[in-house]
Structure 1
């Protein structure tokens, strides 16, 4: 009797007919079936099946490549985050604009006990800087005042809060401020819900200063307070991009605000950034008076990478400044507050 062999075209197998397992993979099943039916695998499964198999292999390759890329990116992020945490960072100075440089210098030295550390005039750019503080710039956080030729008034805006100064006796400092014609906006007294004695004053340009009664401290210029629209976002950014530590938070539901203290060391020894969130307020007018905080770093190039990675905006790419060759990079945080990072070695060269 003649053995009848079915035509390959009459057989329409599907990959779903076979269970691919370690014991019976699809390739083995297809070879065995093709031998039984005396047809080739290409005839058995057709071109579409081969395309499907090739596509599947290709997809697996792409997936593996994508996973490897994600792992590599995650490792790079972790390495950069660790570098930021170990970078030698310090708050160097806070920069803001004033309308009368001599008047401001007199107020700070006579009323607040600061020292004029140095001045520099840049006539080609039409501005003058004055650096004031409670100790040398190589070891203390100081103020950098900027006077732009012919500009006698600035808008402080609603986003900037105040500077903090630690003093031995708040009441005596307030009396001196009054005697010199200064403005006191809060008389000395304990902070609500606490024991620390504080007072608030204003300088001739309207910048607010909080006076905090403390014992001797290596950093009397101890705070810069800025308002932010999303406290959790700001904390995360300053932790990861700036390498700051969250020192403490305090919520005040009675007055509907929360503060977060951040810095590179404890408040009694290092200057801190005080971030304030007012319930329901997501943005502020920053005016044109307050400028920025300057922070030291060992590598402005890596710093810029971290800032970009963790949600900041670079406004000046890292590199040397024309004329003085000090390497810097400038950025904005998620709320639009500006900071400048300065190469540590170059900064010390400037002070020589």
Structure 2
């Protein structure tokens, strides 16, 4: 069975961003990995230098939708487009933690939300955080035409439609997984430089068929079936697609990914060590310039 895995965020200020996810949202560091060169599937964006990946969430990746924080050592900020609308979390405790940490609680259309460094929005449902299920309810992405998007996500990728309104569609692979919400913004979708990527898993044997279906229907394959290595961990196979609005979609072989994504009890310590040893700000200062802006 296919399952929703995570969303990839590009982050510029790693320390402030980690504080937000840990101290405000209340997520835990599940694993942390450092890479000396860019990813073959552009997991860190179109950058070739040193980068890191930190997975954070409310629980293990086996049964929670989590966040992948990708940090490129040479970049301080990323320009946001209108492609990412927000992630909804069921947890009044998030608001309590925000207040305790003097983190601004904002409101839009009577909905309360918190903003991560970089501008990413997290909408909060004011209900007790569930203990026996994932608090992440859905991720909302922009669509220039919901009906056209549904032909891709529902008809080609076989996601079930849970709700459909004039300008919104809610989809998912299973009742107990975080849902994908597509919202028609009435115009073009701009991904700018902060664009993210949503990831799903499927049986590894299905990856070639997914790629072939995209080819047969004239849809975009950004990265053809490739194996990705993580130092000291499992090698996974992935195919990276794009929907009609250019949203990046990663399908990864589930069997190897479950091995790769086991919670690392040393993850938090590895992240802390990496942040303490990060001298990129000092290096750029010595060169008389600031970090790059994407």
The residue aligned with 2:191 is 286
**Separation in 1, partners of 2:11, 2:159:** 29
Partner of 2:71: 147
Tell me: CA distance 1:244–1:149, structure 2 relative to 1, closer, same or farther (3 Å). Answer: same
Q: Residue in 1 aligned with 2:237?
A: 327
Structure having greater relative contact order (Cα 8 Å, sep ≥ 6): 2
1:242 pairs with one of 122, 143, 157? 157
Kindly indicate which of the two structures has a greater share of residues assigned to strand: 2
Partner residue, 1:184: 105
8 Å contact 2:9–2:194 — kept in the other structure?
Answer: yes
Query: Unaligned regions of 5+ residues in structure 1, if any?
Result: 1-87, 193-197, 252-257
Contact 1:226 1:274 in 2 (8 A): yes
Q: Distance in 2 between matches of 1:261 and 1:311?
A: 25
How many angstroms apart in 1 are the aligned matches of 2:193 and 2:104? Answer: 22
Q: 1:307 to 1:321 in 2, by over 3 A?
A: same
3-state DSSP class of the match of 1:152? Answer: strand
How far 1:183 sits from its partner (Å)? 2.7
C-alpha displacement at 1:311, in angstroms? 4.9
Mark the CA change 1:206 to 1:346 in structure 2 (over 3 Å): closer, same or farther.
same
SS of match in other structure, 2:75? coil
* Superposition deviation, residue 297 in structure 1: 1.0
Change (3 A) 1:308 1:183: farther
Shift of 1:175: 4.2
Classify the secondary structure of the residue corresponding to 1:158.
Answer: coil
User: Structure 1, residues 255-289: CA drift from partner, whole Å, max 9, x if none?
Assistant: xxx211111123xx3201110013xx231211221
Kept in 2, the 8 Å contact 1:141–1:219? The answer is yes
The aligned counterpart of 1:127 is: 51
Match 1:158 to one of 59, 78, 82: 82
Helix, strand or coil: the match of 2:62? coil
For the residues of structure 2 that align with 1:349 and 1:175, how far apart are their CA atoms?
A: 35
- Rate the CA distance shift 1:259–1:311 in 2: closer, same or farther, 3 A: farther
Equivalent of residue 338 in structure 1, options 220, 224, 248: 248
How far has the Cα of 1:321 moved from its partner?
2.4
Q: Distance in 2 between matches of 1:166 and 1:307?
A: 35
d(CA) in 1 for partners of 2:97, 2:62: 29
Q: Work out the CA distance in 1 between the residues paired with 2:245 and 2:122.
A: 22
2: CA distance, partners of 1:272 / 1:159: 17
Instruction: Specify the SS of the correspondent of 2:214.
Output: helix
Inter-CA distance 311–247: structure 2 relative to 1 (3 Å threshold)? farther
Which of residues 207, 224, 227 is equivalent to 1:300? 207
Instruction: Show the 5 A alignment for 1:1-352.
Output: 88-125=1-38, 126-167=50-91, 169=92, 173-186=94-107, 198-214=111-127, 216=130, 218-251=133-166, 258-266=167-175, 269-278=176-185, 281-298=186-203, 299-321=206-228, 325-351=235-261
Q: Which has the higher helix share?
A: 1
For the pair shown, the structure with the greater C-alpha radius of gyration is: 1
Q: So what's the TM-score if we normalise by structure 2?
A: 0.77
TM-score (norm 1): 0.65
How many residues are matched?
A: 244
